[in-house]
């Protein structure tokens, strides 16, 4: 009886230590992922706005949701670049929700005129060697968005080449590029119909990127 109790106590102790360790590792890893994402965002922001703007880009930001254009209840962040109080460009952070392995987080820099300054991938879970060619480190595919707008190409050409569009697909991995193309087009459509709101909404302080 004593032996059984001792074994049960030892097992219980091992379980408690194991669970605590796992919780600790999860906590540290989750924190690191958030930090890594922040670092990448800060690195990329400057590349997606014009050289000349005179406001505090990092502070001139706000977060909103719009289920029609940005599904799954995702929070979308907008950073505004202004020159002499005039809108110069805007950066949107949003998810392409139809990736092969879930959300692909994107940054899109959009000029006040509605043309794209560029698109970058912040994070994704696509398969290495198949879907990860969306990363600038892996291929220059993502640069194909630079200079594009809703009229360039026309809306039916916002698709991969195999489907009559103007964007390259990846061999054996069409789901990933399609998800990105569709999400970027939706972001441009949202920008076109909500330009005033996007530039005029008051800044909020959700998540200070500078810290």
- Give whichever of 63 and 127 is closer to ligand FMN, judged by the CB atom: 127
Quote the least distance from Cβ 132 to ligand FMN, whole Å.
Answer: 7
Tokens of 97: 């929700």
Least separation in angstroms between residue 184's CB and ligand FMN is 16
Q: Which residues pair with 87 in a beta bridge?
A: 82
Min separation Cβ 72 and ligand FMN, Å: 19
- Could you tell me the smallest distance in angstroms from the CB atom of residue 163 to ligand FMN? 10
CB burial class (10 A; 0-12, 13-18, 19+) of residue 11?
exposed
Smallest separation, CB 119 to ligand FMN (Å): 17
Give 113's Cβ-side CA count (13 Å radius). Answer: 9
Q: How many residues comprise the chain?
A: 211
Q: Is residue 173 a contact point for ligand FMN (CB under 6 A)?
A: yes
Binding segment toward ligand FMN, per CB under 6 A, in 23-31, 143-151, 169-177, 182-190? 169-177
Find the shortest distance in angstroms from Cβ 117 to ligand FMN. 26
- What's the sign of the alpha-carbon dihedral 179, 201, 207, 71? negative
Residue 172 as a binder of ligand FMN (CB under 6 A): the answer is yes
> Contacts with ligand FMN in 117-146 (CB under 6 A)?
126-127, 130-131
Residue with structure tokens 């200070």? 208
Question: x/- site string to ligand FMN, residues 100 to 119, per CB under 6 A?
Answer: xx------------------
33's tokens: 């992922």
**DSSP at 206:** S
Nearer CB in complex with ligand FMN: 160/203: 160
DSSP 54-119: -S-TTTSEEEE-BTTTB-TT--EEEEEEEETTEEEEEEEEEEEEEETTEEEEEEEEEETTS-EEEE
- Considering only residues 73 to 102 of the shown chain, the ones binding ligand FMN according to CB under 6 A are 100-101
Applying CB under 6 A, among 176, 180, 181, 187 the residue interacting with ligand FMN is 176
Binding stretches for ligand FMN (CB under 6 A): 100-101, 126-127, 130-131, 169, 172-176
């Amino acid at each position: 009886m004593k032996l059984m109790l001792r074994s049960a106590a030892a097992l219980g102790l091992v379980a408690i230590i194991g669970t605590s360790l796992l919780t600790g590792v999860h906590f540290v890893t989750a924190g690191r992922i958030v930090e890594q994402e922040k670092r990448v965002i800060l690195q990329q922001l400057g590349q997606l706005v014009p050289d000349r703007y005179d406001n505090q880009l990092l502070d001139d930001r706000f977060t909103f949701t719009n289920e029609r254009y940005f599904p799954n209840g995702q929070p979308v962040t907008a950073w505004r670049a202004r020159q002499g109080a005039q809108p110069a460009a805007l950066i949107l952070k949003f998810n392409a929700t139809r990736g092969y392995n879930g959300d692909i987080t994107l940054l899109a820099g959009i000029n006040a005129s509605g043309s794209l300054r560029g698109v970058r991938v912040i994070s994704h879970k696509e398969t290495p060697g198949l879907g990860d060619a969306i990363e600038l480190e892996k291929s220059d595919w993502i640069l194909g968005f630079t200079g594009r707008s809703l009229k360039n190409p026309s809306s039916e050409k916002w698709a991969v080449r195999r489907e009559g569009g103007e964007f390259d697909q990846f061999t054996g991995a069409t789901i990933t590029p399609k998800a990105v193309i569709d999400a970027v087009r939706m972001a441009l459509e949202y920008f076109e119909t909500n330009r005033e709101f996007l530039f005029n909404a008051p800044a909020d302080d959700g998540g200070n990127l500078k810290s």
